[in-house]
């Protein structure tokens, strides 16, 4: 017999579902926002439907405390922001200046930390970041510098999918990000490993294999999940992970044509019946 919704997700695990970013002009064209909605009004509209989001812009540029501070009054109490570490520390690494950049980043996200609004700091690593001595050393030093923050690491290369890596993350109480991605041999696989009992973190990137191989971001994240594709996650994987974590955040990154909010709502209906 299929378990009830109440039995599926442990009541002790607070799960929140949202999208990776929210300021997409095309979401107005797709009907998620009213036509012509300016970017400055999108956050408050988004927060009427979801209780958490990823801050994509902090990957492109350093966050500034003043700008972060202005965002907080636009959302209700309890709304969470997962901040993404800036690309100069993950994709375009400055081996001589990255420690100073960590200090600058920490200063920028201070309002989120002080307000208790940042459930996670996402360290997203590219497929080119393979498991080798140099990269292992850099990541270890980076995690040392980020100590004290709720860090979550997303690997994109399959070489990191080994028990020794999971054990080290567990020792550090760093969350391993679970992913749903196309079935490509070089990508990190979809796993249900929980390395930090404080937090589970899941990102849905879509399954557009041709788009991922194209190098075009618009094509890469152009994918709409069907209800049947999400059911194994909502009925099996997420409940299994939630039984081992006190809280969880789940994001859809298939932002093209406002597919991400559609799928986020679909998953919420499957998980919570609403």
Tens-digit pLDDT profile for residues 79-90 = 999 999 999 999
* Residue 13: per-residue pLDDT: 61
Per residue in 157-188, pLDDT (tens digit) is 999 999 999 999 999 999 999 999 999 999 99
What is the longest distance spanned by two Cα atoms in the chain? 58
* Residue 10: per-residue pLDDT: 57
* 224 pLDDT above the threshold of 70: yes
* Residue 1: per-residue pLDDT: 29
* Residue 8: per-residue pLDDT: 57
Percentage of the residues of the chain whose pLDDT score is greater than 70 = 95
Domain housing 22: 5-272
* Number of structural domains found in the chain: 1
* 4 pLDDT above the threshold of 50: no
* 7 pLDDT above the threshold of 50: no
**Cα separation of the two ends of the chain:** 22
CA–CA distance, 107 with 113 (Å, rounded to integer): 10
Residue 221: CATH number of its domain: 3.20.20.410
SS3 241: helix
* Residue 217: per-residue pLDDT: 78
* Residue 99: per-residue pLDDT: 97
Confidence of residue 130 (pLDDT cuts 50, 70, 90): very high
CA dihedral 71, 77, 79, 84 (to 10 degrees): 50
Confidence of residue 30 (pLDDT cuts 50, 70, 90): very high
What's the pTM value of the predicted model, to 2 decimals? 0.94
* Residue 48: per-residue pLDDT: 96
For residue 23, what are its two tokens?
A: 């300021």
* Residue 215: per-residue pLDDT: 76
For residue 124, what are its two tokens?
A: 């997203």
Contacting residues for 98 by C-beta, under 8 A, at least 6 apart:
88, 89, 142
- Angle between the N-to-C axes of helices 133-145 and 98-108, in degrees from 0 to 180, rounded to the nearest 10: 40
Q: How many CB atoms lie within 10 A of CB 2?
A: 7
Transcribe 127-156 into DSSP letters.
TT--SSHHHHHHHHHHHHHTTTS-EEEE--
* Residue 212: per-residue pLDDT: 85
* 24 pLDDT above the threshold of 70: yes
Residues 261-271 have a mean pLDDT of: 97
CA–CA distance, 100 with 82 (Å, rounded to integer): 21
CA–CA distance, 91 with 98 (Å, rounded to integer): 11
Percentage of the residues of the chain whose pLDDT score is greater than 90 = 88
Confidence of residue 100 (pLDDT cuts 50, 70, 90): very high
């Amino acid at each position: 017999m299929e378990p009830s919704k109440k039995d599926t997700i442990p009541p002790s695990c607070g799960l929140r579902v949202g999208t990776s970013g929210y300021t997409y002009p095309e979401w107005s064209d797709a009907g998620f926002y009213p036509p012509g909605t300016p970017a400055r009004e999108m956050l408050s509209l988004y927060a009427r439907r979801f209780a958490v989001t990823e801050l994509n812009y902090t990957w492109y540029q350093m966050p500034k405390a003043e700008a972060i501070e202005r965002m907080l009054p636009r959302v209700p109490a309890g709304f969470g922001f997962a901040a993404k570490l800036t690309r100069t520390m993950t994709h375009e690494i400055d081996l001589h200046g990255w420690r100073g950049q960590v200090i600058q980043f920490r200063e920028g996200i201070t309002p989120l930390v002080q307000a208790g609004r940042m459930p996670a700091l996402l360290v997203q690593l590219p497929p080119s970041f393979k498991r080798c001595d140099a990269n292992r050393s850099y990541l270890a030093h980076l995690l040392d510098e980020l100590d004290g923050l709720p860090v979550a690491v997303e690997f994109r290369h399959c070489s990191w999918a080994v028990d020794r890596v999971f054990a080290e993350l567990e020792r550090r109480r760093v969350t391993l990000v679970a992913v749903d991605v196309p079935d490509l041999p070089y990508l990190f696989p979809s796993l249900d490993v929980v390395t930090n009992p404080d937090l589970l973190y899941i990102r849905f990137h879509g399954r557009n294999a041709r788009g991922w191989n194209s190098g075009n971001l618009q094509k890469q994240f152009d994918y709409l999940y069907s209800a049947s594709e999400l059911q194994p996650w909502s009925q099996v994987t997420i409940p299994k992970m939630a039984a081992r974590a006190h809280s969880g955040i789940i994001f859809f990154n298939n932002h093209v044509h406002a597919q991400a909010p559609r799928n986020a709502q679909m998953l919420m209906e499957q998980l919570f019946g609403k």
